[in-house]
Structure 1
Protein backbone atom coordinates (compact mmCIF):
# COMPACT_ATOMS: atom_id res chain seq x y z
CA UNK A 1 0.00 0.00 0.00
CA UNK A 2 2.85 2.41 0.77
CA UNK A 3 4.42 1.77 -2.62
CA UNK A 4 1.17 2.67 -4.39
CA UNK A 5 1.07 5.93 -2.44
CA UNK A 6 4.59 6.84 -3.45
CA UNK A 7 3.90 6.01 -7.10
CA UNK A 8 0.76 8.14 -7.00
CA UNK A 9 2.66 11.08 -5.53
CA UNK A 10 5.40 10.76 -8.15
CA UNK A 11 2.95 10.60 -11.08
CA UNK A 12 0.83 13.49 -9.79
CA UNK A 13 3.93 15.59 -9.13
CA UNK A 14 5.15 14.93 -12.67
CA UNK A 15 1.79 15.99 -14.13
CA UNK A 16 1.78 19.10 -11.93
CA UNK A 17 5.28 19.99 -13.14
CA UNK A 18 4.17 19.60 -16.78
CA UNK A 19 1.19 21.89 -16.11
CA UNK A 20 3.38 24.57 -14.55
CA UNK A 21 5.90 24.19 -17.38
CA UNK A 22 3.20 24.73 -20.00
CA UNK A 23 1.88 27.86 -18.30
CA UNK A 24 5.35 29.30 -17.74
CA UNK A 25 6.36 28.53 -21.33
CA UNK A 26 3.16 30.12 -22.63
CA UNK A 27 4.22 33.35 -20.98
CA UNK A 28 7.98 33.17 -21.57
CA UNK A 29 7.98 32.04 -25.22
CA UNK A 30 5.61 34.75 -26.35
CA UNK A 31 6.93 37.53 -24.07
CA UNK A 32 3.62 38.20 -22.34
CA UNK A 33 3.11 37.34 -18.72
CA UNK A 34 -0.67 37.76 -18.57
CA UNK A 35 -1.12 34.00 -18.89
CA UNK A 36 0.35 33.52 -15.42
CA UNK A 37 -2.99 34.69 -14.03
CA UNK A 38 -4.31 31.22 -14.84
CA UNK A 39 -1.99 29.67 -12.25
CA UNK A 40 -3.40 31.90 -9.53
CA UNK A 41 -6.95 31.13 -10.60
CA UNK A 42 -6.47 27.36 -10.57
CA UNK A 43 -4.57 27.38 -7.28
CA UNK A 44 -7.31 29.41 -5.59
CA UNK A 45 -10.18 27.38 -7.13
CA UNK A 46 -10.31 24.47 -4.61
CA UNK A 47 -10.21 26.77 -1.56
CA UNK A 48 -13.92 27.80 -1.50
CA UNK A 49 -15.00 24.17 -1.83
CA UNK A 50 -12.72 23.16 1.05
CA UNK A 51 -13.75 26.07 3.28
CA UNK A 52 -17.46 25.59 2.71
CA UNK A 53 -17.10 21.84 3.26
CA UNK A 54 -15.50 22.52 6.65
CA UNK A 55 -18.10 25.19 7.51
CA UNK A 56 -21.05 22.88 6.85
CA UNK A 57 -20.24 20.99 10.10
CA UNK A 58 -22.29 17.85 9.52
CA UNK A 59 -23.01 16.01 12.74
CA UNK A 60 -25.89 14.13 14.37
CA UNK A 61 -27.34 17.11 16.24
CA UNK A 62 -27.81 19.64 13.43
CA UNK A 63 -30.20 19.64 10.53
CA UNK A 64 -28.47 18.43 7.37
CA UNK A 65 -30.50 20.82 5.17
CA UNK A 66 -28.92 23.97 6.61
CA UNK A 67 -25.33 22.93 5.84
CA UNK A 68 -26.12 21.87 2.30
CA UNK A 69 -26.52 25.45 1.05
CA UNK A 70 -23.04 26.33 2.28
CA UNK A 71 -21.56 23.36 0.42
CA UNK A 72 -23.46 24.35 -2.72
CA UNK A 73 -22.12 27.90 -2.44
CA UNK A 74 -18.57 26.53 -2.26
CA UNK A 75 -19.15 24.37 -5.32
CA UNK A 76 -20.59 27.34 -7.21
CA UNK A 77 -17.61 29.61 -6.43
CA UNK A 78 -15.18 26.80 -7.28
CA UNK A 79 -16.96 26.19 -10.58
CA UNK A 80 -16.87 29.91 -11.33
CA UNK A 81 -13.11 30.03 -10.74
CA UNK A 82 -12.49 26.97 -12.93
CA UNK A 83 -14.55 28.44 -15.77
CA UNK A 84 -12.75 31.76 -15.29
CA UNK A 85 -9.41 29.94 -15.60
CA UNK A 86 -10.46 28.63 -19.00
CA UNK A 87 -12.25 31.79 -20.16
CA UNK A 88 -9.54 34.26 -19.16
CA UNK A 89 -6.98 33.13 -21.77
CA UNK A 90 -9.75 32.98 -24.40
CA UNK A 91 -10.75 36.57 -23.68
CA UNK A 92 -7.11 37.70 -23.65
CA UNK A 93 -6.52 36.01 -27.01
CA UNK A 94 -9.71 37.50 -28.44
CA UNK A 95 -8.53 40.99 -27.44
CA UNK A 96 -5.13 40.27 -29.07
CA UNK A 97 -3.31 40.65 -25.76
CA UNK A 98 -1.85 37.14 -26.05
CA UNK A 99 -1.29 34.84 -29.01
CA UNK A 100 -3.60 31.86 -29.66
CA UNK A 101 -0.71 29.43 -29.09
CA UNK A 102 -0.17 30.93 -25.65
CA UNK A 103 -3.91 30.61 -25.00
CA UNK A 104 -3.90 26.88 -25.78
CA UNK A 105 -0.77 26.22 -23.73
CA UNK A 106 -2.18 28.20 -20.82
CA UNK A 107 -5.54 26.40 -20.85
CA UNK A 108 -3.99 22.93 -21.08
CA UNK A 109 -1.43 23.73 -18.38
CA UNK A 110 -4.07 25.23 -16.11
CA UNK A 111 -6.35 22.23 -16.47
CA UNK A 112 -3.43 19.93 -15.67
CA UNK A 113 -2.69 21.98 -12.54
CA UNK A 114 -6.31 21.96 -11.36
CA UNK A 115 -6.76 18.27 -12.17
CA UNK A 116 -3.65 17.44 -10.18
CA UNK A 117 -4.84 19.43 -7.17
CA UNK A 118 -8.20 17.64 -7.24
CA UNK A 119 -6.49 14.26 -7.69
CA UNK A 120 -4.24 14.89 -4.69
CA UNK A 121 -7.27 15.62 -2.53
CA UNK A 122 -9.18 12.58 -3.82
CA UNK A 123 -6.33 10.08 -3.42
CA UNK A 124 -5.19 11.25 -0.01
CA UNK A 125 -8.50 12.10 1.65
CA UNK A 126 -8.64 10.91 5.24
CA UNK A 127 -11.88 9.28 6.30
CA UNK A 128 -13.14 10.59 9.61
CA UNK A 129 -13.72 7.97 12.28
CA UNK A 130 -15.94 8.25 15.31
Structure 2
Protein backbone atom coordinates (compact mmCIF):
# COMPACT_ATOMS: atom_id res chain seq x y z
CA UNK A 1 0.00 0.00 0.00
CA UNK A 2 1.47 3.30 -1.08
CA UNK A 3 1.36 6.09 1.41
CA UNK A 4 2.17 9.69 1.92
CA UNK A 5 5.94 9.09 1.96
CA UNK A 6 5.76 7.54 -1.51
CA UNK A 7 3.89 10.55 -2.86
CA UNK A 8 6.41 12.94 -1.31
CA UNK A 9 9.42 11.05 -2.71
CA UNK A 10 7.89 10.77 -6.19
CA UNK A 11 6.98 14.46 -6.26
CA UNK A 12 10.51 15.39 -5.15
CA UNK A 13 12.04 13.28 -7.95
CA UNK A 14 9.59 14.78 -10.45
CA UNK A 15 10.56 18.29 -9.34
CA UNK A 16 14.26 17.46 -9.77
CA UNK A 17 13.55 16.16 -13.28
CA UNK A 18 11.72 19.33 -14.30
CA UNK A 19 14.43 21.44 -12.68
CA UNK A 20 17.10 19.71 -14.75
CA UNK A 21 15.16 20.26 -17.97
CA UNK A 22 14.57 23.92 -17.20
CA UNK A 23 18.17 24.47 -16.10
CA UNK A 24 19.45 22.80 -19.28
CA UNK A 25 17.89 25.62 -21.24
CA UNK A 26 18.35 28.52 -18.84
CA UNK A 27 22.02 27.96 -17.95
CA UNK A 28 23.19 27.82 -21.54
CA UNK A 29 20.75 30.44 -22.90
CA UNK A 30 19.39 28.11 -25.57
CA UNK A 31 15.73 27.26 -25.16
CA UNK A 32 15.47 24.43 -27.70
CA UNK A 33 15.59 21.83 -24.93
CA UNK A 34 12.23 23.09 -23.69
CA UNK A 35 10.70 21.43 -26.76
CA UNK A 36 11.22 18.17 -24.88
CA UNK A 37 8.64 19.31 -22.33
CA UNK A 38 6.05 19.25 -25.14
CA UNK A 39 6.66 15.50 -25.52
CA UNK A 40 5.98 15.03 -21.79
CA UNK A 41 2.61 16.69 -22.25
CA UNK A 42 1.70 15.02 -25.55
CA UNK A 43 2.98 11.49 -24.78
CA UNK A 44 0.03 10.18 -22.71
CA UNK A 45 -2.62 11.59 -25.06
CA UNK A 46 -2.55 8.75 -27.67
CA UNK A 47 -2.87 6.13 -24.91
CA UNK A 48 -5.80 7.99 -23.40
CA UNK A 49 -7.63 8.52 -26.71
CA UNK A 50 -7.08 4.96 -27.93
CA UNK A 51 -8.07 3.55 -24.55
CA UNK A 52 -11.36 5.44 -24.72
CA UNK A 53 -11.97 4.25 -28.30
CA UNK A 54 -11.54 0.60 -27.33
CA UNK A 55 -14.67 -1.54 -27.25
CA UNK A 56 -15.52 -2.06 -23.57
CA UNK A 57 -17.40 -5.36 -23.79
CA UNK A 58 -17.05 -7.47 -20.64
CA UNK A 59 -18.53 -10.63 -22.14
CA UNK A 60 -16.43 -10.82 -25.32
CA UNK A 61 -12.86 -10.04 -24.28
CA UNK A 62 -10.52 -11.16 -27.05
CA UNK A 63 -7.29 -9.75 -25.61
CA UNK A 64 -5.86 -6.46 -26.83
CA UNK A 65 -7.29 -4.57 -29.76
CA UNK A 66 -5.32 -2.94 -32.52
CA UNK A 67 -6.42 0.56 -31.52
CA UNK A 68 -4.89 0.11 -28.07
CA UNK A 69 -1.67 -1.18 -29.62
CA UNK A 70 -1.59 1.87 -31.92
CA UNK A 71 -1.92 4.15 -28.89
CA UNK A 72 0.90 2.35 -27.11
CA UNK A 73 3.09 2.59 -30.22
CA UNK A 74 2.48 6.32 -30.57
CA UNK A 75 3.14 6.88 -26.86
CA UNK A 76 6.37 4.88 -27.10
CA UNK A 77 7.43 6.91 -30.12
CA UNK A 78 6.88 10.17 -28.25
CA UNK A 79 8.78 8.91 -25.20
CA UNK A 80 11.75 7.88 -27.34
CA UNK A 81 11.56 11.21 -29.16
CA UNK A 82 11.72 13.02 -25.81
CA UNK A 83 15.01 11.28 -25.04
CA UNK A 84 16.45 11.40 -28.57
CA UNK A 85 15.58 15.01 -29.42
CA UNK A 86 18.30 16.53 -27.19
CA UNK A 87 20.83 14.09 -28.68
CA UNK A 88 19.91 15.22 -32.20
CA UNK A 89 20.14 18.86 -31.16
CA UNK A 90 23.59 18.27 -29.65
CA UNK A 91 24.74 16.37 -32.74
CA UNK A 92 23.73 19.32 -34.93
CA UNK A 93 25.53 21.73 -32.56
CA UNK A 94 22.30 23.52 -31.70
CA UNK A 95 22.79 22.90 -27.96
CA UNK A 96 25.79 22.06 -25.82
CA UNK A 97 26.60 18.53 -24.65
CA UNK A 98 26.02 19.53 -21.01
CA UNK A 99 22.51 20.76 -21.86
CA UNK A 100 21.85 17.48 -23.65
CA UNK A 101 22.94 15.42 -20.64
CA UNK A 102 20.88 17.50 -18.23
CA UNK A 103 17.82 17.29 -20.46
CA UNK A 104 18.09 13.51 -20.96
CA UNK A 105 18.61 12.84 -17.24
CA UNK A 106 15.70 15.13 -16.39
CA UNK A 107 13.50 13.39 -18.94
CA UNK A 108 14.38 9.95 -17.63
CA UNK A 109 13.60 11.09 -14.08
CA UNK A 110 10.23 12.42 -15.22
CA UNK A 111 9.31 9.29 -17.16
CA UNK A 112 10.54 7.06 -14.32
CA UNK A 113 8.42 8.99 -11.84
CA UNK A 114 5.32 8.64 -13.99
CA UNK A 115 5.88 4.89 -14.37
CA UNK A 116 6.55 4.49 -10.64
CA UNK A 117 3.43 6.45 -9.79
CA UNK A 118 1.28 4.19 -11.96
CA UNK A 119 2.89 1.07 -10.46
CA UNK A 120 2.40 2.17 -6.84
CA UNK A 121 -1.11 3.52 -7.21
CA UNK A 122 -2.61 1.05 -9.68
CA UNK A 123 -5.89 -0.32 -8.36
CA UNK A 124 -6.46 -4.04 -8.85
CA UNK A 125 -9.79 -5.08 -10.31
CA UNK A 126 -11.67 -7.61 -8.23
CA UNK A 127 -14.30 -9.89 -9.72
Which of these residues, 31, 36, 39, is aligned with residue 38 of structure 1?
A: 36
Alignment of 1:21-100 (within 5 A): 21-64=19-62, 68-100=65-97
Matched positions, count: 127
SS of 1:64's equivalent in the other structure is coil
Q: Which moved more, 1:114-123 or 1:76-85?
A: 114-123
CA distance in 1, matches of 2:109, 2:77: 17
Which of these residues, 104, 121, 124, is aligned with residue 124 of structure 1?
A: 121
CA distance in 2, matches of 1:47, 1:122: 19
Deviations 1:74-108 (A, max 9, x none): 11001100111111111111111100110010011
Give unmatched runs, 5+ long, in structure 1.
none
SS of 2:3's equivalent in the other structure is helix
Q: TM-score, normalised by structure 1?
A: 0.86
Displacement after TM superposition at 1:125 (Å)? 2.2
CA distance in 2, matches of 1:57, 1:72: 13
**Structure 1 segments of 4+ aligned residues over 4 angstroms from their partners:** none
Give unmatched runs, 5+ long, in structure 2.
none
